[in-house]
Amino acid sequence: MTEQPKKKLFIKTYGCQMNVYDSERMAEAMGGSGYERTDTAEGADMILLNTCHIREKAAEKVYSELGRLKPLKTLNPDLKIGVAGCVAQAEGEEILARQPIVDMVVGPQSYHRLPELAAGGRAAVLTEFDEDKFAHLPARPSPTRGPAAFLTVQEGCDKFCAFCVVPYTRGAEVSRPVARVIGEAEGLARQGVREITLLGQNVNAYHGADGDATRSLGWLVRRLARIEGIERIRYTTSHPNDMEDDLIAAHGDCPELMPYLHLPVQSGSDRMLKAMNRRHTAESYLALIGRLRAARPDLALSGDFIVGFPGETDADFEDTMSLVRAVHYAQAYSFKYSARPGTPAAERDPVAPDVADARLQTLQALLAEQQAEAQAAMVGRETRVLVEKAGRLPGQLAGKSEHLHAVHFEADLPKGEIARVRIVEAGSHSLRGEAIGG
């Protein structure tokens, strides 16, 4: 029997690491229906837009992209176009109404049903939260990210920050069962993965889904560290209120847990934190940072900040600047507040755009200065780099340090090797090193 040629699947991914993971799982789900991923939309048999709804005008960007795809549908009427992810969850039927070229609208909890939608003959919307998609997804083939891979362990959010749509698009906090997480991690290790990043909207809210509250993220990190082949573990994104004692301790006593932590705070003003419904204070956040650094003194910290939140004054903004100076971030992400429809903050009077712009520039200048200092502090130090790919120059390799720095150096090593490297030069976004012992 002649084997049928593979159909081409193009996925465009917007947003966070969880969407990157979801796109990989979508491709794997469609693999059983005869599809393989392609890097271009032209000539594809199916196009999926895996969307993010966090930033302003996210939906309009999706509609704009769909407009650009319309000629491809004209050329190939059999082309299937789907919108997945958080914009799909938020917009639902409206997407089909506004863009008739769309065949499928699939929320982030329903993408395991993509194969049946692709086989159907009429446009469909699936945005339910009523089943565990992971129980229906196929076993994972070889990962596409080489020696480092993402692994979702928790989804959803119960925090209801006043600016955020995640509780509405991703649903309530749900943890994956321990056995399934371990099984997926063991499968990745067999396929050559040496570093796993555990993902969740509030990943440190993980609690096993087995009815055992002791199976926390700290417990899971230690359990995964016992898997042969797994030498590095990271996790993101965390909430300060879910940073439990055993996870803090793991930063000091589990060598596989890398010394890098993304811990968003959003503001240094207690008044703004209350308005954001963050349920922690600047003082409690700084105390938490102190405990983490006591457990792991070389811990590199990253954070998220929103400036121009409704009601923010000059004094509130200065409190944020003071917190940044106190923490000294190795890396951070900062944004001007953008109203998300349906969230409590969207109904409040905004800060004047020019004021918010000026504050953002001031904050980003300080964060850039701190990042440059953190990069420069690496010069002369030895680090261990996981080789992920070839560099831009002949003989050059590129990978990540324990502290998540991008490092390039020259050596004759295979992908997946962990090399000892001495840093000799710091750039704004990467480090240059020399291999030690070869």
Task: Render 390-402 in DSSP notation, one character per residue.
Answer: E-SSTTEEEEE-T
Q: Are 127 and 158 part of one and the same domain?
A: no
Give 211-224 as a DSSP string.
Answer: S-TT-BHHHHHHHH
DSSP code, position 266:
B
Residues sharing a CB contact under 8 Å with residue 292, sequence separation 6 or more, in sequence order: 243, 248, 251, 261, 263, 299, 301
Domain boundary among 81, 114, 133: 133
Q: Are 12 and 114 part of one and the same domain?
A: yes
Q: Are 210 and 149 part of one and the same domain?
A: yes
DSSP code, position 207:
B
Asked, for residue 160, whether it belongs to a domain, the answer is yes
Q: Are 221 and 272 part of one and the same domain?
A: no
Q: Are 176 and 289 part of one and the same domain?
A: no
Residues contributing to the annotated binding site for [4Fe-4S] cluster: 16, 52, 86, 157, 161, 164
Give 130-177 as a DSSP string.
Answer: SS-HHHHSPPP-S-SSTTEEEEE-EE--S---TT--HHHHT-S-EEPP
Domain boundary among 377, 399, 418: 377
Give the global pTM.
0.87
Domain boundary among 344, 377, 410: 377
Q: How far apart are CA 263 and CA 305, in angstroms?
A: 10
Asked, for residue 2, whether it belongs to a domain, the answer is no
Q: Are 218 and 119 part of one and the same domain?
A: no
Q: Are 243 and 282 part of one and the same domain?
A: no
Q: In terms of residues, how long is the chain?
A: 438
CATH of the domain at 115: 3.40.50.12160
Q: Are 353 and 419 part of one and the same domain?
A: no
Asked, for residue 41, whether it belongs to a domain, the answer is yes
Query: What's the confidence (pLDDT) of residue 438?
Result: 53
Q: Are 310 and 323 part of one and the same domain?
A: yes
Residues sharing a CB contact under 8 Å with residue 27, sequence separation 6 or more, in sequence order: 9, 11, 35, 37, 144
Residues contributing to the annotated binding site: 16, 52, 86, 157, 161, 164
Mean pLDDT to the nearest integer, 248-252: 98
The pLDDT tens digits of the residues spanning 85-120 come to 888 888 888 888 899 999 989 888 888 888 888 887
Mean pLDDT to the nearest integer, 178-196: 94
Q: Are 229 and 272 part of one and the same domain?
A: no
How many folded domains does the chain comprise? 4
Q: Are 205 and 245 part of one and the same domain?
A: yes
Q: How confident is the model at residue 315 (pLDDT cuts 50, 70, 90)?
A: very high
pLDDT of residue 402 exceeding 80: yes
Query: What's the confidence (pLDDT) of residue 3?
Result: 60
- What residues make up the domain containing 365? 261-377
Higher-scoring residue by pLDDT: 139, 376: 376
Name the maximum alpha-carbon separation found in the chain. 74
Asked, for residue 17, whether it belongs to a domain, the answer is yes
Asked, for residue 1, whether it belongs to a domain, the answer is no
The pLDDT tens digits of the residues spanning 340-395 come to 888 999 999 999 999 999 999 999 999 999 999 999 999 999 999 999 988 778 88
Q: How far apart are CA 154 and CA 247, in angstroms?
A: 16
Q: Which residue has the tokens 């993408």?
A: 111
Tokens describing residue 151: 């692994």
Q: Are 167 and 227 part of one and the same domain?
A: yes
Can you say whether the dihedral through the CA atoms of 49, 206, 323, 283 is positive or negative? Answer: positive
Nearest Cα residue to 214 out of 186, 180, 175, 255 = 175
pLDDT of residue 137 exceeding 80: no
The pLDDT tens digits of the residues spanning 327-337 come to 999 999 999 99
